[in-house]
Amino acid sequence: MEEKEIGAIVQAEPLKDFCRRVFVKLGVPEEDAAITADVLVTADLRGISSHGVARMRRYVNGIKSGMMKVRPEVKVVHETPTTATIDAGAGLGQPVSYRAMQKAIEKAREYGVGFVAVRNSNHYGIAGYYSMMALEYDFIGISSTNAAVLVVPTFGRNAMLGTNPISIAVPAGEERPFVLDMATSTVPRGKLEVYNRLGKPIPLGWATDEKGYPTTDPGLVLRNLLERRGGGLLPLGGAGEDMGGHKGYGLALAVEIFCGVLAGAAYADLVYPKDEQGRPLPSRIGHFFGAIRIDAFRPLDEFKADMDDLIRRLKNSPKAEGQTRIYIHGEKEFEAAEKHAREGIPLHKKVVQDLKDIAGEVGVEFNL
């Protein structure tokens, strides 16, 4: 973000407190509000601004419209020693996801593995927040979600799948953990929103227009997706099969199966339904979480030593000409989090203004 675009540099804790107070003012229980605020600010700390407090407007509007329930009836609808399925009652996605991952970890502590699916939920923030919860226990964590229809299937014209992120977090010994947190599209919608906010064209190969042609106009793609006029984001790998777009399509579809079909949630273009007057109904999206206890497979210290060795072999391998560093997934985000914790989180001036507007609307003090 260029310096002229920064509206404020804020510390994480005051920003969390502001978000928490907004949610509480809207009727969200204190604990749920704190969890949701923590997920959002963690995204900003890790440099994933597309999923940070810039999303507050989405949640405020969702709560006001009744699409997101502030006090949902959350219930376990199916359970075995190693699995569970939870109905989120159309509530905020963050609290139910946090508790679902906790349940997966508890099951893994007792039985070696734990998997929990969630249905009837809403947007849950960054996938990596939940997979990383397992790192505290030296477990492997898994997190994924289906999402609003944004991605065009290979050889398709209309968006039929979500960006459907996958996150896997794996502990190491002396090295940082491996934390994969990726959309199965070329980019997430939030990336287009950032480019659109900055007035910048997107690279060719990220998205298509309503006729299926590549476009560099993020505003056009976002409008077409909102109005369901056709086109959308491309799967990871891009258009067609030459660069592996069908593989990204397959990954997105796999997430749709785990989070939609297996969870008993909505899937494909059944998510985010509307009533006869075109008003949004609860999104009915689903999530999937997993925790794996490493010592159920081999001694933990041996595993972590081998993880260190694997990471070092990659990082110390020959660099491409002109390059000085090979990164491990999650490394840039850990470094960003350390920097932002020390120096503060930069917020775009449009995001700052939106937060001020939200503060005025709900009646909380804006003191960032």
Q: Give the model confidence (pLDDT) of 54-93 as tens digits.
A: 999 999 999 999 999 999 999 999 999 999 999 999 999 9
Residue 226 reports pLDDT greater than 90: no
Burial level of 78, CB count in 10 A (0-12/13-18/19+)? exposed
Distance CA 187, CA 232 (A): 11
CA-to-CA dists, residue 354 to 25, 57, 100, 278, 361, angstroms: 17, 7, 31, 25, 10
Q: Give the model confidence (pLDDT) of 165-175 as tens digits.
A: 999 999 999 99
Distance CA 70, CA 84 (A): 23
Distance CA 217, CA 201 (A): 6
Residue 2 reports pLDDT greater than 70: no
Q: How confident is the model at residue 209 (pLDDT cuts 50, 70, 90)?
A: very high
CA-to-CA dists, residue 262 to 84, 142, 289, angstroms: 11, 16, 12
Q: What is the chain's Cα-based Rg? A: 20
Q: What percent of the chain has pLDDT over 90?
A: 88
User: Nearest to residue 151, comparing CAs of 259, 238, 49, 258?
Assistant: 238
User: What single letter denotes the amino acid at residue 266?
Assistant: A
Q: How confident is the model at residue 301 (pLDDT cuts 50, 70, 90)?
A: very high
User: Nearest to residue 139, comparing CAs of 110, 97, 117?
Assistant: 110
Q: Please state the rounded mean pLDDT for residues 17-28.
A: 98
Beta bridge partners of 69: 91
3-state secondary structure 249-265: HHHHHHHHHHHHHHCCC
Q: Give the model confidence (pLDDT) of 109-151 as tens digits.
A: 999 999 999 999 999 999 999 999 999 999 999 999 999 999 9
Q: If DSSP codes are grouped into helix, strand and coil, which group holds residue 177?
A: coil
Q: Please state the rounded mean pLDDT for residues 218-243.
A: 92
Q: What pLDDT, on the 0 to 100 scale, is given for residue 206?
A: 94
Q: What pLDDT, on the 0 to 100 scale, is given for residue 308?
A: 98
Query: What DSSP state is assigned to residue 274?
Result: B
Helices (H), the chain: 12-25, 30-45, 56-65, 93-111, 127-131, 189-198, 218-227, 245-256, 300-315, 331-343, 349-362
Q: What pLDDT, on the 0 to 100 scale, is given for residue 46?
A: 97
CATH number, domain 1-65+334-368, options 3.40.190.10, 1.10.1530.10, 3.40.440.10, 3.40.710.10 = 1.10.1530.10
Tell me the fold of 72-186+234-316: Ribosomal Protein S8; Chain: A, domain 1 (3.30.1370)
Q: Please state the rounded mean pLDDT for residues 145-160.
A: 94
Q: Please state the rounded mean pLDDT for residues 250-271.
A: 98
Q: Which helix (H) or strand (E) holds 289?
A: strand 285-293
Distance CA 303, CA 178 (A): 13
Range name among 227-231, 303-307, 316-320, 354-358 with the lowest pLDDT average: 227-231
Q: How confident is the model at residue 277 (pLDDT cuts 50, 70, 90)?
A: confident
Query: Which regions of the chain carry the CATH code 3.30.1370.60?
Result: 72-186+234-316
Which tokens in the block code for residue 60?
Answer: 């405020």
Query: Which regions of the chain carry the CATH code 1.10.1530.10?
Result: 1-65+334-368
Distance CA 148, CA 123 (A): 9
Q: Which residue has the tokens 């906790």?
A: 102
How far is it between the farthest Cα atoms of the chain?
A: 60
CATH number listed for the domain at residues 191-228: 3.30.60.50
pTM of the model: 0.94
